[in-house]
């Protein structure tokens, strides 16, 4: 992809990674991704905002051919998908100053061995003039690392937001063309990396309310030329109440736990509670993370194996604990053969979650009437608690 004009003297640069299917060796990328950098040519100075993931550095370097000078490189975030090509760019433009938060400076020195004399530290709210264009740096920590900031281009009212508001989509469309598709991808991205820092994200959103923003240019996915809806969506994700939804990640070895899952799903549905099931051995964990953004209740379904929860259920529980969703209620259902410590093991893995635990339902072998009655009681309890909270 060649560089593309956004506004007069403002360009998208970067690489579209059509084939990537996993990020951080953890996060599924069903639609690939992009690493967006931006070039701003002021009347006196030129700035490059972020770079690209190292495997695609040649793409960025080709786009920089013909650029005679870069005075400033702004690094919003030290993670290597945006910072990893800084060293190569500095080799070509050795006089460029690297504009960062104080925390990013130490991180980039550690991660990329950038020499100390290259850095220009900027405070929260500080501006930098490029002549006829002014960059204002807004510190937005924990989006999703501690050093993160965004840049507001005052004259053009463009927010360069890096990971904030980003979405993992590979596309040739520069701007959002399918709002539903981007909503889902952005929510997936929020759920996977930002949800654990929801309260700080809310403060960062509040900070941005002071700015008139005509466009948001993130470092993954498409540019928002009508950004109000994605700001509103983030507000809902971090500040909105959970929904009348039970998320039910489960695994079943011989069908008994699945029978319990199906029975509970039917009982909850009859009582007007929505349910989303995730068969863990084959599920896309990004989809599960997205559902956790909204779920008032999580019920983990697991057989007992090796005297504890199935490893797939333990993984999902560990992940949910790490993602810190707004979930209010949690329980466990499942079948065992002769004994074990499934409930105790899972209960020890949810220390981050501020949840009320609803009595688990475990049964020996195939569920009989007493187990099904207990699942009816569980459905009653969940429906009542959702109603008491006024969840929709």
**Residue 220 in the binding site for ligand FEO (CB under 6 A):** yes
Which residues, numbered 312-351, are part of the site for ligand FEO (CB under 6 A)?
none
The rounded distance, in Å, linking the Cα atoms of 160 and 236 is: 21
Of 304, 383, 379, nearest in space to 345 by CA = 304
What element of type H or E holds 6?
Answer: strand 4-7
For the CB of residue 193, give the shortest distance to ligand FEO in the complex, in Å.
Answer: 6
Position of minimal CB gap to ligand FEO = 79
Report the residue number, 77 or 139, with the smaller CB distance to ligand FEO. Answer: 77
SS3 state at 276: strand
Which residues, numbered 102-161, are part of the site for ligand FEO (CB under 6 A)?
144
SS3 state at 104: helix
Q: How many residues bind ligand FEO (CB under 6 A)?
A: 8
Q: Out of 31, 50, 57, 163, point to the residue binding ligand FEO (CB under 6 A).
A: 163
For the CB of residue 77, give the shortest distance to ligand FEO in the complex, in Å.
Answer: 5
If one counts every other C-beta atom within 10 angstroms of the C-beta of residue 82, the result is 25
Report the residue number, 98 or 162, with the smaller CB distance to ligand FEO. Answer: 162
Report the residue number, 218 or 227, with the smaller CB distance to ligand FEO. Answer: 218
Taking a C-beta distance cutoff of 8 angstroms, is the pair 115, 86 a contact? no
SS3 state at 331: strand
**Residue 168 in the binding site for ligand FEO (CB under 6 A):** no
Question: Which residues make Cβ contacts (< 8 Å) with residue 133, sequence separation at least 6?
Answer: 9, 40, 42, 43, 153, 154, 155, 156
Report the residue number, 191 or 248, with the smaller CB distance to ligand FEO. Answer: 191
The rounded distance, in Å, linking the Cα atoms of 10 and 6 is: 6
Report the residue number, 188 or 258, with the smaller CB distance to ligand FEO. Answer: 188
C-alpha distances in Å from residue 65, one per residue of 3, 34, 59, 88? 11, 20, 10, 13
Report the residue number, 163 or 294, with the smaller CB distance to ligand FEO. Answer: 163
If one counts every other C-beta atom within 10 angstroms of the C-beta of residue 141, the result is 18
Six token digits for residue 95: 């006089």
Which residues, numbered 225-284, are part of the site for ligand FEO (CB under 6 A)?
none
For the CB of residue 15, give the shortest distance to ligand FEO in the complex, in Å.
Answer: 13
Report the residue number, 41 or 50, with the smaller CB distance to ligand FEO. Answer: 50
Which residues, numbered 66-85, are part of the site for ligand FEO (CB under 6 A)?
77, 79, 81-82
Q: Counting every residue, how long is the chain?
A: 392
> By rule CB under 6 A, what string of x and - marks binding of each residue 25-64 to ligand FEO?
----------------------------------------
- Interface residues with ligand FEO (CB under 6 A) are 77, 79, 81-82, 144, 163, 219-220
């Amino acid at each position: 992809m060649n560089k593309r004009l956004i506004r007069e003297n403002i360009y998208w640069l970067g690489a579209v990674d059509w084939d990537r299917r996993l990020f951080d060796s953890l996060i599924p990328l069903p639609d690939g991704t992009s690493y967006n950098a931006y070039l701003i040519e002021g009347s006196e100075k030129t700035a490059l905002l972020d770079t690209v993931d190292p495997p695609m550095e040649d793409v960025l370097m080709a786009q920089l051919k013909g650029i005679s000078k870069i005075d400033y490189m702004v690094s919003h975030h030290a993670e290597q998908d945006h910072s990893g090509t800084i060293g190569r760019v500095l080799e070509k433009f050795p006089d460029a100053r690297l504009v960062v938060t104080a925390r990013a400076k130490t991180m980039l020195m550690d991660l990329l061995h950038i020499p100390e004399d290259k850095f220009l530290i900027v405070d929260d709210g500080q501006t930098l003039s490029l002549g006829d264009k002014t960059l204002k740096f807004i510190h937005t920590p924990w989006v999703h690392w501690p050093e993160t900031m965004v840049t507001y281009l005052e004259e053009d009212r463009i927010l360069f937001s890096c990971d904030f508001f980003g979405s993992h989509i590979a596309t040739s469309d520069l701007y959002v063309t399918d709002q539903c598709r981007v909503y889902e991808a952005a929510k997936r991205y929020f759920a996977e990396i930002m949800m654990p820092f929801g309260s700080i994200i809310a403060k960062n959103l509040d900070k941005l309310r002071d700015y008139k923003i005509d466009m948001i240019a993130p470092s993954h996915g498409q540019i928002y030329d009508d950004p109000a809806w994605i700001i509103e969506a983030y507000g809902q994700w971090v500040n909105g109440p959970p929904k009348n939804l039970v998320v039910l990640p489960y695994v079943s070895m011989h069908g008994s736990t699945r029978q319990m899952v199906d029975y509970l799903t039917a009982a909850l549905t009859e009582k007007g509670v929505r349910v989303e099931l995730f068969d863990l051995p084959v599920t896309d964990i990004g989809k599960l993370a997205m559902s956790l953004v909204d779920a008032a209740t999580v019920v983990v379904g697991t057989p007992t194996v090796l005297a504890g929860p199935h490893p797939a259920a333990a993984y999902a529980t560990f992940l949910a604990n790490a993602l810190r969703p707004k979930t209010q209620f949690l329980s466990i259902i499942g079948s065992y053969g002769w004994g074990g410590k499934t409930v105790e093991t899972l209960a020890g893995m949810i220390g981050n979650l501020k949840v009320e635990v609803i009595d688990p339902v475990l049964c020996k072998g195939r569920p009989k009437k007493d187990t099904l009655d207990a699942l009816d009681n569980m459905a009653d309890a969940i429906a009542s608690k959702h109603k008491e909270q006024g969840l929709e």
